[in-house]
Amino acid sequence: MWSGVVPTAVTRAVADGIYLLEVGWPEPIGANAYLIDDGEVTLVDAGLPVGRRSLAAELSAVGHGVGDLDRVLVTHYDLDHVGGLRGLDADVPVHVGAADARLADGTWAPPPAHPKGAFHRLLRRLFPLSENVQPVTDGDRVGGFRAVHAPGHNPGHTVFLHDDLGAALLGDLVRERDGRFRPPPWIDSYDLGRLAESVDRVASESFEHACVGHGRPVSPDGGDRLRRLAAEL
Ligand SMILES: [Zn+2]
């Protein structure tokens, strides 16, 4: 729970250059965002539209202003990951998996019979992405990151790997609880079969710092922890 202690860059550091932004809400309501500083400044995901602390305040807690941002990476188009972009007022490219860019702009119609499809049909009316959207596909390089298309939770869900920092920005590929990873629930995912394939694929990558959207980041040994889940699925 919120302790009233003002967080600082030190308390938010997952590892060198990797900072956790809790975007104002504790679990299970909120989703994590991250700031990566590798000489360029990248925001990964943006949390809910309304937090107890603003995204700008979270950025300043790790020593940056909105004007420092070079880009935003979005792991997937869900309200708890893109809502905070509204009002951020950062004129920077927003990189998002190509299928989720189509989901957001309406050129792909999600199945209305799936609970998540119905939700997305509403979400894209209320929270369209900015005009600065840059769709990414598997293997694309964006700054120090490499995009790995990891569908299942969403069709365009993308994991961003930073090989130099040993970091994997996992979004909602998995959730962390009590130090273990689990897949997100079926009601919140389009295709759990594809999601298991995505877990397998990302688990074959090499990284230490597993930065999840929900739960605590696992660092070090994040890659080993994901391989353990892949073996169970
Ligand atoms: Zn989420």
Report, as an integer, the average pLDDT of 189-209: 96
Q: What is the pLDDT of residue 25?
A: 72
Residue 171 lies in a domain: yes
Which residues make up the environment of ion ligand 1, defined by Cβ < 5 Å?
Answer: 31, 80, 172, 213
- CATH number for the domain spanning 128: value is 3.60.15.10
Q: What is the span of the domain harbouring residue 120?
A: 9-232
Task: Classify residue 4: in a domain, yes or no.
Answer: no
Q: Which two tokens stand for residue 161?
A: 């790997």
Ligand 1 center–CA 48 separation, angstroms? 9
Residues 6 or more apart whose Cβ sits within 8 Å of residue 80: 30, 31, 47, 48, 213
179 part of a folded domain? yes
- Span 25-41, pLDDT tens digits: 776 677 899 999 999 99
> Cα of 63 to ligand 1 centre, how many Å?
25
Q: What is the pLDDT of residue 2?
A: 47
Q: How many A from CA of 79 to the centre of ligand 1?
A: 8
On whether residue 86 sits in a domain, the answer given is: yes
Q: Which residues of 118-144 are buried (b: 16+ CB within 10 A; e: fewer)?
A: eebeebbeebebbeebebbeeebebbb
How many angstroms separate the alpha carbon of residue 143 from the centre of ligand 1? Answer: 24
| Residue 190 domain-assigned (yes or no) | yes
Rounded distance from Cα 122 to ligand 1 centre (Å): 17
Question: Which one has a higher pLDDT value, 66 or 130?
Answer: 66
Residue 99 has pLDDT above 70, yes or no: yes
Short-list 81, 62, 61, CA closest to 72:
81
28: CA distance to ligand 1 center in Å? 10
2: in domain: no
pLDDT tens digit string along 60-94?
A: 989 999 999 999 999 999 999 999 898 788 889 99
Asked if the structure places residue 101 within a domain, the reply is: yes
What is the total count of domains within the chain?
Answer: 1
For residue 8, pLDDT over 60 is answered with yes
Centroid of ligand 1 to alpha carbon of 45 (angstroms): 10
The CA 9 to ligand 1 mean position distance, Å, reads: 24
Q: Is the pLDDT of residue 230 over 70?
A: yes
Pairing of strands 167-171, 158-162: antiparallel
pLDDT of residue 146: 98
Mean of the per-residue pLDDT values of the chain: 91
pLDDT at 52: 64
Q: For residue 141, report the distance from its CA to the centre of ligand 1, in Å.
A: 24
Task: Give the model confidence (pLDDT) of 184-198 as tens digits.
Answer: 988 889 999 999 999
Q: Is residue 79 part of a domain?
A: yes
Q: Please spell the DSSP secondary structure of 82-121, one letter per residue.
A: HGGGTTT---S-EEEEHHHHHHHHTSS---TTSHHHHHHH
